[in-house]
Structure 1
Amino acid sequence: MTLDSHVTAQEPKDTGHVPGNVLVPMGALLLGLLLAALDQTIVSTALPTIVSDLGGLEHLSWVVTAYLLASTAATPLWGKLGDQYGRKKLFQIAIVIFLIGSALCGMAQNMGELIGFRALQGLGGGGLIVLSMAIVGDLVPPRERGRYQGLFGAVFGTTSVLGPLLGGLFTEHIGWRWVFYINLPIGVVALVVIATALRIPRKSAQHVIDYLGTFLIAAVATCLVLVASLGGTTWAWGSAQIIGLSVLGVVIAVLFVAVERGAAEPVLPLKLFRIRTFTLAAVISFIVGFAMFGAMTYLPTFLQVVHGISPTMSGVHMLPMVVGMLLSSTGSGQIVSRTGRWKVFPIAGTGVTALGLLLLHQLDQNSSTAEMSTYFFVFGFGLGLVMQVLVLIVQNAVSYEDLGVATSGATFFRSIGASFGVAIFGTIFASRLGEQLAAAFRGVSLPAGLSASTLQADPRGIAALPPALRPAALHAFSVSITDVFLYAAPVALLGFVLAWFLKEDRLRGSVTAPDVTETLATNPVQRSSYDEVCRALSVLGTREGQREIYRKIAARAGYDLLPAASWLLLRMRKYGSVEPGVLAGRCVVPLSVILDAERQVEERRLAVREGLDLSLTDQGREVADRLARAREESLAELLGDWWGPDRPTDLDRLVKELTDQMCGSQREQPQGGAAAAGVS
């Protein structure tokens, strides 16, 4: 049985919403999030075709990198601007920017245009992700927030599977430009629904926005990625351009440190790096993003070019990797939340990821589907073991005031790692491919219009080669891509070594593994410390089961009461009285259970009948007060050392709010007499 699990959103006086109205704007928010999350993965299977159409294989990685960099850098800015100027308006602006970027990407005529428009699209995408999750907090009360944020997290899980499949389908059947055009009708629907149905209170929170810090950290990341992607290909490593970019990156990094030391609300507080666990987790997060997105970008190219698999089927072939990630993330999260032991997972995860990269290096043009699927699964399984746990251990290592920024910081480094990884993989691939093709066709007479350089620019030229020469071209592409994984393996091994230095501190009760699918996101979604604790406590509440909660708080208060009797007493304390018959018809608790509870509280003289209503006696009010205190103490215990004499007032408010909501919603109350009047 689940007691009072059917709880609605906040009352109209608080949010401007009746419960049924929450579902429509929630659907629009999910659509907005779907757009941004999908565009992180949908392009991967379309990339080989895009490159063949627009040219510029050496810049393939930038189609992904531009989006990731822009969305990562913009995320903290969107979050704070939403706090200051209202999230609804900012969310609409983010949708418009994203749709403009999508339309322009679809119309791009060369690789340079596409990369620039992808950056614009990423700018809007970062806003869609962070604001959609923040608006959930405006629409629903803390007790329900974990469930709704789980839905939003599920969107990320779904897009990780659907992205490559849809990208392949559109590319194969209606053209790669529809990978971007498909966003337009969905975005317009979301825009219209948000404009007409979303009503959220205007909560203005004053922030000193760290514009300079945000710009500088984005500039440092851009310099690093430019060096990684252009060095050794467009410009020699010792060229003035690469050296200049490297020096510029170092100078900006020093300037960033100076600015953050004096910032009122730094985008990335430097004091976090004094916490060893945070620093190690940040580096390991960087490595995970490096490996994950580097592989996801180049595996479709391997499948389509080397094995001649269609874009759609290349998405299908990548499913074992996603399945491995989901299985290991789910399992590790549950084990950690139940046992409190977590250190084994980052160690095992980085080790298995390194093994997966070495296995991927073994692939060639003769590898079977079963072999490829197995290696993809191993690689994904390793990533899943470590991704979710890194967020959890960072949350556990910092003080309450830094909880929100530390959580987004861990994911921020994974996003930067993803950008850097895709760029590095791209450089290695382009460099190796040029060497391999030149060696394969040195002294060989190729058909008119074909050369090593034209094959490098457009893989479709392989089909025009004489049958005797095709294996050499396929081998060149195969070796160039799989060598990328060999070079990435030492980076994963570095993560494996660093993971051993993590200190396994005892987990706070409120630190639970976030929803598995939330950790698939690369964007550093910035929620406040309050929101993070809120998510954890609400998830704990739903996991325990309401019957067990009421049994525990009765025992804590020193009473031998039925769970439903405790529930009735708390309802009467909050609403003044209850009418058991009407209550049974308006909530999910069976009538027989309510009648047993009613009989017990009457026999013990904790409540008396007044007509059809049941009201507390003086003794009953004392018992209900103790039950309420017991629930508050139980929640406070979960906060561990965050719940001290100098605890933040918002934590105090959260515990009281969650305690109050245990009684249920006013919607389930009769609409007349004492019941309607007695709202505490």
Structure 2
Amino acid sequence: MTGMDGSVGRVRARAGAGARAGEGSAVQTTNRITGARRWWALGAVLVTMFFSSLDQTVVSTAMPVIIGELQGFSLYAWVFTAYMMASAITVPIYGKLSDVYGRKPFYVIGLSLFLLGSVASGAVRSMGQLIAARAFQGLGAGAMLSMPRATIGDIFNPRERGRWMGVISSVFGIASIVGPAVGGWITDNLGWRWVFYINLPVALLALGAVLYALPTVRTEHRARIDWTGSTLLVVGLVLLLLALTWAGVQYPWGSPRILGLFAGAFLFLGLFVAAERRAEEPVIAPELFRNRIFASTAAVALLISLGMFGSIMFLPLFVQGVLGETAQQSGHILTPMMLSFIGGSVVGGQLITRTGRYKLQAAVGALLMATGMYLLAKMGPTTAPGAVVRNVVIMGLGIGSVLPLLNVAVQNAFPYPLMGMVSATQQFVRSLGGIIAAPILGTVLVNTFSAELLQRMPTALRAAMAKLPAAERAALANPQGLINAETQAAIRARFAAFGSQGGELYHQFIEAVRGSLAAGTARLFAVGFIFAVLAVVSTLFLKEIRLKRDEFFTDPDQV
């Protein structure tokens, strides 16, 4: 890598003298983990990854009950957004500082903040308090997103990492399978507050493993946190997220409020880029994006995240709302997707470890994902559940085979002392995809659904609906009614008030809603297909450097 200066160059310069000193001792000058301790460290990484991944799926399962008690449906998305935003912005900070001070203190800080946030989340009395508590949790979750991948780099050389990055990614898939069942059982038997309290013993176990297995790194350098850049980034992302969430739903796309939000977002993000170029130690080093491998892997990660999160979030709505299956049956359809994701991660990791190459696998995996998204976009009310399973398995194999190798490729392209920074910055880009996927795809779904519903309702049904108050018409047109038995009963009772034709009008209305929802999800998956195609194109620009072995750790000037 050439042209790297600023903080990147300084970190590299500091690394050379201490790259081999103190390895295997209690106090070291690098993060390198050798000997028997590396297996304890690997165990700590796996526990931490499983714990953080499980939390998201468990909380998702409990959210309908939480909303029912705290009365905050309009704030539903912000419970997840606040968590993801806080974790995303702290990921590059943790990664950069861990290159200097070692991984251990930031594991400890992250797990401690997460524990406190869990306690606060379980004690809330309003949705506003829950959003604030989840944001606090997210500050700790940033460490659990960035540290494990960097720690794998501390334990294994690039050639070995393919195998273990696949295992790391499979942990996410296992958590996604186990999480809904665990969350449902806890919510039904212990109450939703225990969804958060159950984190305490698991986090303490992970904390003990980290304290025992990870080395303490001693350094004379004192890193600085780029508070200005971090603040500008947070403000810019929040404004962008608000614009994408409200545009076309609460306010027209061309309204002054939406245009003002977009303008503010681009202004603050532009100021962030300018500030990072001048910062002595930027939170996200602009020089990283000059590296072709980093830029292309970041683009692939962002595009895959955009498509992946959309399928995970909205596929259950299709299965339950369009196909009429139960929530349990929709879970059964999502399980094969996660199993194929695990299979793709493990097999793909083994392949890049054996061959030392990754570009062809990245292209094939992205193509498989695009194929799966295309098939999802072709689904409708007559699609058989077996066809849905086939489609998600194809997509899961593709995603699973690509995501682990992206981190391996980018770590292989940079000097070892920059491990935390490059891994965390790539993770930030991936998290960004998850943050913006929900509002973009949600807007596509809502707008398509609303337009289709007007066209699909027969004249008699439109006339009957016109007699209802506007607020009641809006409530009846909510597609969530299709997957909520109580709401369906209320809709049926409301249509019964129209007299003898009420039953027929009800069935016409349900069919119109079902067809409109099918059209909305098809459009949504079509957008995901576009993201996947762009991911395939991005893999073609991925430069391949054969994966290095142990010499990776001993040459701080390598490119």
- Please give the TM-score of this superposition, normalised by the length of structure 2: 0.75
Match for 1:362 among 378, 382, 396?
378
Deviation at 1:123, TM superposition (A): 1.4
Aligned match of 2:501: none
2:26 and 2:215 in contact (8 A); partners too:
no
SS in 2 for 1:232: coil
The Cα offsets for residues 581-604 of structure 1, whole Å up to 9 and x where unpaired, read as: xxxxxxxxxxxxxxxxxxxxxxxx
Residues 115/357 of structure 1: CA separation in 2 closer, same or farther (3 Å cut): farther
In the alignment, the residues of structure 2 paired with residue 181 and residue 365 of structure 1 have an alpha-carbon distance, to the nearest angstrom, of 40
Match for 1:158 among 174, 177, 180?
174
In the alignment, the residues of structure 2 paired with residue 98 and residue 201 of structure 1 have an alpha-carbon distance, to the nearest angstrom, of 22
The Cα offsets for residues 211-234 of structure 1, whole Å up to 9 and x where unpaired, read as: 323333333333322221121112
The reply on whether 1:508 has 2:546 as its aligned counterpart is: yes
Deviation at 1:316, TM superposition (A): 2.9
The reply on whether 1:387 has 2:403 as its aligned counterpart is: yes
The reply on whether 1:318 has 2:344 as its aligned counterpart is: no
Deviation at 1:396, TM superposition (A): 4.4
1:51 and 1:458 in contact (8 A); partners too:
no
In structure 1, give the amino acid aligned to 2:462. Answer: R
Aligned match of 1:464: 490
Match for 1:484 among 505, 524, 538?
524
Deviation at 1:364, TM superposition (A): 3.6
1:168 and 1:313 in contact (8 A); partners too:
no
Match for 1:347 among 363, 367, 377?
363
1:71 and 1:123 in contact (8 A); partners too:
yes
Aligned match of 1:443: 463
Aligned match of 2:85: 69
Residues 332/190 of structure 1: CA separation in 2 closer, same or farther (3 Å cut): closer
In the alignment, the residues of structure 1 paired with residue 367 and residue 166 of structure 2 have an alpha-carbon distance, to the nearest angstrom, of 29
Aligned match of 2:254: 238
The Cα offsets for residues 446-481 of structure 1, whole Å up to 9 and x where unpaired, read as: 999964425528632124333624333333434333
2:321 and 2:480 in contact (8 A); partners too:
no
* Of 384-393 and 23-32, the range deviating more from structure 2: 23-32
SS in 2 for 1:495: helix
1:167 and 1:312 in contact (8 A); partners too:
no
The Cα offsets for residues 486-505 of structure 1, whole Å up to 9 and x where unpaired, read as: 222222222223333x1543
In the alignment, the residues of structure 1 paired with residue 25 and residue 230 of structure 2 have an alpha-carbon distance, to the nearest angstrom, of 37
Deviation at 1:23, TM superposition (A): 8.4
The Cα offsets for residues 379-431 of structure 1, whole Å up to 9 and x where unpaired, read as: 21222233233333334445666555333333321111111112211222233
Aligned match of 1:276: 292
In the alignment, the residues of structure 1 paired with residue 534 and residue 149 of structure 2 have an alpha-carbon distance, to the nearest angstrom, of 33
* Of 63-72 and 77-86, the range deviating more from structure 2: 77-86
In structure 2, give the amino acid aligned to 1:357. Answer: M
In structure 2, give the amino acid aligned to 1:283. Answer: A
In the alignment, the residues of structure 2 paired with residue 183 and residue 162 of structure 1 have an alpha-carbon distance, to the nearest angstrom, of 15
In structure 2, give the amino acid aligned to 1:508. Answer: R
Deviation at 1:90, TM superposition (A): 4.6
**Percent identity among equivalent residues?**
32
Residues 32/323 of structure 1: CA separation in 2 closer, same or farther (3 Å cut): closer
In the alignment, the residues of structure 2 paired with residue 472 and residue 228 of structure 1 have an alpha-carbon distance, to the nearest angstrom, of 27
2:99 and 2:420 in contact (8 A); partners too:
no
2:362 and 2:405 in contact (8 A); partners too:
yes
Aligned match of 1:95: 111
* Of 240-249 and 164-173, the range deviating more from structure 2: 164-173
In the alignment, the residues of structure 2 paired with residue 338 and residue 22 of structure 1 have an alpha-carbon distance, to the nearest angstrom, of 21
Aligned match of 2:556: 648
In the alignment, the residues of structure 1 paired with residue 131 and residue 172 of structure 2 have an alpha-carbon distance, to the nearest angstrom, of 23
Residues 122/369 of structure 1: CA separation in 2 closer, same or farther (3 Å cut): same
- RMSD over aligned CA atoms reads 4.2
The Cα offsets for residues 79-102 of structure 1, whole Å up to 9 and x where unpaired, read as: 455566776555444334323333
Deviation at 1:27, TM superposition (A): 6.2
In the alignment, the residues of structure 2 paired with residue 283 and residue 272 of structure 1 have an alpha-carbon distance, to the nearest angstrom, of 13
SS in 2 for 1:265: coil
In the alignment, the residues of structure 2 paired with residue 173 and residue 310 of structure 1 have an alpha-carbon distance, to the nearest angstrom, of 21
* Of 47-56 and 326-335, the range deviating more from structure 2: 47-56
Aligned match of 2:241: 225
Structure index of larger Rg: 1
Residues 288/333 of structure 1: CA separation in 2 closer, same or farther (3 Å cut): same
2:98 and 2:106 in contact (8 A); partners too:
yes
Residues 240/325 of structure 1: CA separation in 2 closer, same or farther (3 Å cut): same
Task: Flag the structure with higher helix content.
Answer: 2
Aligned match of 1:336: 352
Deviation at 1:20, TM superposition (A): 9.5
1:40 and 1:68 in contact (8 A); partners too:
no
Residues 55/75 of structure 1: CA separation in 2 closer, same or farther (3 Å cut): same
Gap regions ≥5 residues in structure 2 = 1-22, 493-505
The Cα offsets for residues 170-226 of structure 1, whole Å up to 9 and x where unpaired, read as: 4566555543343244335556x4799679546345323323233333333333222
Aligned match of 2:5: none
Residues 77/341 of structure 1: CA separation in 2 closer, same or farther (3 Å cut): closer
In the alignment, the residues of structure 2 paired with residue 274 and residue 20 of structure 1 have an alpha-carbon distance, to the nearest angstrom, of 38
Residues 477/114 of structure 1: CA separation in 2 closer, same or farther (3 Å cut): farther
In the alignment, the residues of structure 1 paired with residue 106 and residue 414 of structure 2 have an alpha-carbon distance, to the nearest angstrom, of 30
Residues 476/177 of structure 1: CA separation in 2 closer, same or farther (3 Å cut): farther
In the alignment, the residues of structure 2 paired with residue 118 and residue 310 of structure 1 have an alpha-carbon distance, to the nearest angstrom, of 29
**Greater relative contact order, per chain length (Cα 8 Å cut-off, separation 6+):** 2
Residues 450/238 of structure 1: CA separation in 2 closer, same or farther (3 Å cut): closer
The Cα offsets for residues 43-64 of structure 1, whole Å up to 9 and x where unpaired, read as: 4445556566666666544433
In the alignment, the residues of structure 2 paired with residue 349 and residue 202 of structure 1 have an alpha-carbon distance, to the nearest angstrom, of 38
In the alignment, the residues of structure 1 paired with residue 424 and residue 157 of structure 2 have an alpha-carbon distance, to the nearest angstrom, of 20
Match for 2:533 among 478, 493, 496?
493
Aligned match of 2:445: 429
In the alignment, the residues of structure 1 paired with residue 534 and residue 354 of structure 2 have an alpha-carbon distance, to the nearest angstrom, of 29
The reply on whether 1:296 has 2:336 as its aligned counterpart is: no
Residues 437/254 of structure 1: CA separation in 2 closer, same or farther (3 Å cut): same
SS in 2 for 1:266: coil
The Cα offsets for residues 15-45 of structure 1, whole Å up to 9 and x where unpaired, read as: 9x9x999988986765444332223333444
Residues 137/160 of structure 1: CA separation in 2 closer, same or farther (3 Å cut): same
Residues 30/203 of structure 1: CA separation in 2 closer, same or farther (3 Å cut): farther
In structure 2, give the amino acid aligned to 1:495. Answer: A
Residues 201/490 of structure 1: CA separation in 2 closer, same or farther (3 Å cut): closer
Deviation at 1:114, TM superposition (A): 3.8
